[in-house]
Amino acid sequence: MDLDETGDAVAVMVEQWRRERPDLDASPMLVVGRMFRTVGAWDRALRGPFAEAGLGNGDFDVLAALRRSGDPYELSAGELSRTVLVTTGAITKRVDRLEAAGWVTRSVAEEDSRGRRIALTEAGRRLTDELMEAHLANQRELLRGLDDGERAALARLLAKLGDDLH
């Protein structure tokens, strides 16, 4: 992909569409295309500490959901599924990996013997706390080009876009 003088491949794509199909307004690509490229780059940049800890994709999401749920740091598979926004099947696979590594435990739910409660182990809590510090530092680094006002404005705009998804 060619880049324009600022190194913006998306701007080049939009200009190419303007040339080839002047009847189309390709300007939404300036936002959506840049967002996709940014999210992909951020995903790659943020994955390192999790991979170094031996966590697969989405494993940290489970640990973080348990940690932020508060003491005793446990949830049902259904609660985790709703919190992490994946299917209970995906939660089961993640919990299997995390349990094998000693980061979480499973127990029978007191209120329903068919259900299972997933809880952080002490080692899982320590790992999650360490990774969360690194994760937030990495996020701050990714946003270093924006001042506080710009970050707040972007957060508001993204929330507004997110409202349209419901």
How would residue 5 be classed by pLDDT, with cut points 50, 70 and 90? low
16 and 69 assigned to the same domain? no
46 and 59 assigned to the same domain? no
63 and 47 assigned to the same domain? no
Tell me how many domains the chain contains: 2
DSSP notation for 24-77: S--THHHHHHHHHHHHHHHHHHHHHHHHHTTPPTTHHHHHHHHHHT-TT-EEEH
**CATH number of the domain residue 90 falls in:** 1.10.10.10
Domain enclosing residue 153, as ranges: 55-163
23 and 3 assigned to the same domain? yes
75 and 148 assigned to the same domain? yes
pTM for this model (two decimals):
0.82
48 and 60 assigned to the same domain? no
159 and 84 assigned to the same domain? yes
19 and 61 assigned to the same domain? no
Position 6 pLDDT exceeds 70: no
DSSP notation for 78-124: HHHHHHHTS-HHHHHHHHHHHHHTTSEEEEE-SS-TT-EEEEE-HHH
How would residue 113 be classed by pLDDT, with cut points 50, 70 and 90? low
Position 7 pLDDT exceeds 80: no
CA distance 89 to 94: 9
CA distance 35 to 74: 34
Least confident of 6-15, 54-63, 89-98: 6-15
